[in-house]
Structure 1
Amino acid sequence: MSKRIWVSGMLAFLCMLNVLGTAALAAEPPAIGTNAEAAALVDVKSGRVLYSKRGDRPMRIASLTKIMTAIVAIEESKLTDIVKVSTRAAGKEGSSLYLKAGQEMSLKHMLYGLMLRSGNDAATAIAEHVGGSVEGFAVMMNRKAEQIGLDHSNFTNPSGLDESADHYSSANDLAKLAAYSLKNPTFQEIVQTKMIKVPNPNESWEYTWFNKNKMLGLFDGADGVKTGYTKLAKRCLVSSATRNGQQLVVVTLNDGDDWADHTRLLRWGYEHYPLVPLLKKGQAVEGTPYVAEREFSYPLLSVEKDRVTSEPESFPLESLDARLGEKGTLRLKLDDRLIGTVPLVDPASPRLKAADKAAFGFQATDADVTAWNAWSLSLRKAIRAMLSPGV
């Protein structure tokens, strides 16, 4: 082989590698960094982690703890409950609502003070009311963490004060916790509130609380979540925003430039991982006589859209699911990773709302839907009763 031919061949080979390398780079979004010691960005609806930096590192989290405090209180108590402030709660150090011992306030109003003004006195009062004591409430917090699947978290108090090295979480865990909590309408309403006035039983004037979360005014579509700071944890922040029906959550721990970092990460997420509709409610599923019971969307890079596959799986006719109206499941995968499942039903199933059916040429009355829902609920209750252990 002549030297000229060899050189030409090598040049062609190098050009091919360059093209392949460029294509591979194009398959990934441009790199983005933060000033945070740890960070995470997730899509709320799907739970997909879009960016993570030391995401599983257990760290001090300051008042981001109050996200857990709020969701446990919302789920385990009534908003109309009257919370009485103890001496211990009134004397709590750090950020405060300046509540007085013996003062009473509704749980709802106290939650606003907890999340907007980061009141450590409110956190303690809530914990004592809901959990019987701060220690009892910590048990409830850790039980909820286990339920959600927070593998790198442990809670010992409701405020996030640096009282114990055993109180910690991670960026990925906090993103998962925020995504879970934001699906609760009460929690979402509280954390997106910029200002609220609350009755003050001790004075002639009302409390006026402004949200410390500056992202609510800095980023278009911002709707949460919580700021945090202690001397050991440094600046911590969880923010959320919704654009075009897609809600994202950003977490940064120990970040001296958190407002700017959250703005950049949110923009990056919306630009490169938009929510892509993959299935419409009532849409016929190829290879089956069934339709999708609900819509399905997923955040995808542009190069990932063609890598999503679906696999229908039918239930045996005698199965419980089939008797309840589900005829099967459509499993959606990105490459080999399962990203979601959608129930399959008959086109004429009352499980589909009449309006949705009409859009696809199906007909059903409201009476049909009501009757189906009542029968289905009764059957499920009966089955649970039969399967529950005796007491």
Structure 2
Amino acid sequence: MKRIIMLLIALTLLSSAIYSPISVQAAPSISTHAEAAALIDVRSGRVLYSKQGDKTMRIASLTKIMTAIVAIEHGKLSSTATISKNAAGKEGSSIYLKLNEEMSLQHLLYGMMLRSGNDAATAIAEHVGGTLDGFVYLMNEKARMIGMEHSSFKNPSGLDQENHFSTANDMAKLTAYALRNPVFQEIVKTKVKKAPNPNEAWDYTWMNKNKMLNLYDGADGVKTGYTKLSKRCLVSSATRNGQQLAVVTLNDADDWADHSKLLDYGFKNYPLQTYIQKGDAIQGTEYVAGASFAYPVLDMEQSQVTSKIDLNKQGSIYFRMGELGKQEYLLNGKSIGSVPLYMKDSPRLKLKDNSAFSFTETGIGEVSVMDKWLFNLHFLMRVLFMGNSD
């Protein structure tokens, strides 16, 4: 009788093993040589990998990512900056600007991002911010607006300074934000740039220090960094099959190899899945999607993505503007994004997708038009009433 019972138990366990569905494994673990690292999907803002991602560390010239995006958003690219004594004499990496030399903001940005010129970074800050302090204020306000909760900027170049720090996760957020700007994206993917040189008979020729542009298929940015205290720092990005990923490593002696490995890891395990296209009908309703929505997910997460409709109240400002509600997408019950809902003949469908920046999972809040307006007003009032702080 005992043998029969044991046999039945064995058969039951065997049949269970044969007929139960095969479980899908989570993304495999991965290691790097970095003290801190992060991998982010640029479009969605989802952090796909993080190692000590919130540890505050020195970031060297990765700082210039913030300097560049602030200058692009608040300066006029065609405007001309005059190089001050402070800028011309700045220590560290340089594009060798001369005192009183004139250069467009656009060319200064290329010199800063391709050659990591500290002189260019200082000239940009003085030109756009009025003073270094004014520009640093802009940097920290931008960090606050996009949810960089563990960062503090004290200069535009990244030279070591007390209370000048960030984290791998924060720099990933910043990079994803900056890469959504077409001017920034064009600059950081450029391998070689020429610019007029008023001091010599030949033009400036700047070759990008970012070796990833030649080492990795699809690489399109972003910035190198190094000081004796920070050690090797690197942010890279790459695009494949319409998906752009960015990697941040801080204090990584083998960063070129680690970035290639992390980018491969992201593209393989977290492909971007499109859940709806702009103009698609919402099943069971008379509404259509006012924007497209895509999100990177593991194979095992596919079944965990759900959606729900949240309609706006009649008479609300959104409803009166034609936005009837939104279709929200959730991963395992947590919101990962949404698209507005319109009637299929709404004129708002002809407008470009809303460019406001919002990362749900990484904590980056939406940078609204009102936020930007208040930001600019605050800065203007600060300049008017505090004057030049130099």
- Whether these two folds match at TM > 0.5 is yes
Distance 1:70 1:20 in 2: 54
Is 1:181 aligned to residue 178 of structure 2? yes
Distance 1:332 1:111 in 2: 38
Q: Which residue of 2 aligns with 1:129?
A: 127
Change (3 A) 1:159 1:17: farther
Q: CA deviation at 1:318?
A: 2.0
2:233 to 220, 223, 236: 236
- Helix, strand or coil at the partner of 1:129: helix
Is 1:274 aligned to residue 283 of structure 2? no
Q: CA deviation at 1:74?
A: 0.8
Change (3 A) 1:273 1:84: same
- Helix, strand or coil at the partner of 1:351: helix
Cα RMSD, aligned residues only: 2.5
Give the letter aligned to residue 28 of structure 2. Answer: P
Is 1:199 aligned to residue 196 of structure 2? yes
Distance 1:100 1:280 in 2: 52
The percentage of aligned residue pairs carrying the same residue is 60
Distance 2:15 2:158 in 1: 56
Alignment of 1:357-368 (within 5 A): none
- Helix, strand or coil at the partner of 1:31: coil
Question: Structure 1: where are the runs of 5+ without partners?
Answer: 355-379, 385-391
Q: Which residue of 2 aligns with 1:389?
A: none
Q: Which digits, 9 at most, give the CA deviation of each residue in 1:122-146, with x for residues without a partner?
A: 1111111122222222111111100
Q: Which residue of 1 aligns with 2:48?
A: 50
Distance 1:18 1:59 in 2: 51
Distance 1:287 1:346 in 2: 13
Is 1:295 aligned to residue 280 of structure 2? no
- Helix, strand or coil at the partner of 1:326: coil
Identify which of structures 1 and 2 has the higher relative contact order when contacts are C-alpha pairs closer than 8 Å and 6+ apart: 2
Distance 2:18 2:27 in 1: 18
Change (3 A) 1:3 1:195: same
Question: Structure 2: where are the runs of 5+ without partners?
Answer: 352-368, 374-390
Distance 2:19 2:51 in 1: 29
Change (3 A) 1:4 1:154: farther
1:141 to 120, 139, 147: 139
2:328 to 327, 331, 338: 331
Alignment of 1:283-362 (within 5 A): 283-353=280-350
Distance 1:238 1:92 in 2: 24
Distance 1:119 1:259 in 2: 21
Is 1:258 aligned to residue 258 of structure 2? no
Distance 1:21 1:103 in 2: 70
Distance 2:172 2:209 in 1: 19
Deviates more, 1:136-145 or 1:10-19: 10-19
- Helix, strand or coil at the partner of 2:139: helix
Distance 1:7 1:179 in 2: 59
Q: Which residue of 2 aligns with 1:151?
A: 149
Q: Which digits, 9 at most, give the CA deviation of each residue in 1:185-236, with x for residues without a partner?
A: 1111100100011000011110000000001111111111000000010000
Give the letter aligned to residue 295 of structure 1. Answer: S
Give the letter aligned to residue 137 of structure 2. Answer: V
Q: CA deviation at 1:27?
A: 3.0
Q: CA deviation at 1:16?
A: 6.9
Change (3 A) 1:5 1:214: same
Please report the TM-score for the alignment, with normalisation by the length of structure 2: 0.85
Alignment of 1:29-108 (within 5 A): 29-108=27-106
Please report the TM-score for the alignment, with normalisation by the length of structure 1: 0.85
